[in-house]
Amino acid sequence: MPSDDEVVQTAAEAAEGLILSRLSNSAVKDLDVTVSFEDGVLDVDVYLNAPDAADEEKIAEDAALAARSAVDELFAEDED
């Protein structure tokens, strides 16, 4: 079973990785990924300020989904 810290780190890295794969560092004015994992409940909140990106809200939503997927994969690997 992954530790809570491992779950949080995995989710945060996945969210940030997705954002930075779609936008250059210079396009991102502000980025905040908040992840908590308590009592088996994962909470991911992504704030993205990229004024020149036409789809910044969609990218933030995709980043949160990527975080959840990465955690799902982490637990699936642990089961194998």
Write the single-letter amino acid at 38. Answer: E
Asked if the 4-79 domain carries CATH number 1.10.3720.10, the reply is no
Count Cβ atoms below 10 Å from residue 27 Cβ, excluding itself: 14
Q: Which tens digit of pLDDT belongs to each residue from 6-38? A: 999 999 999 999 999 999 999 999 999 999 999
What residues does each domain of the chain span?
Answer: 4-79
Q: Which tens digit of pLDDT belongs to each residue from 33-80? A: 999 999 999 999 999 999 988 899 999 999 999 999 999 999 998 776
DSSP label at residue 29: S
Write the single-letter amino acid at 44. Answer: V
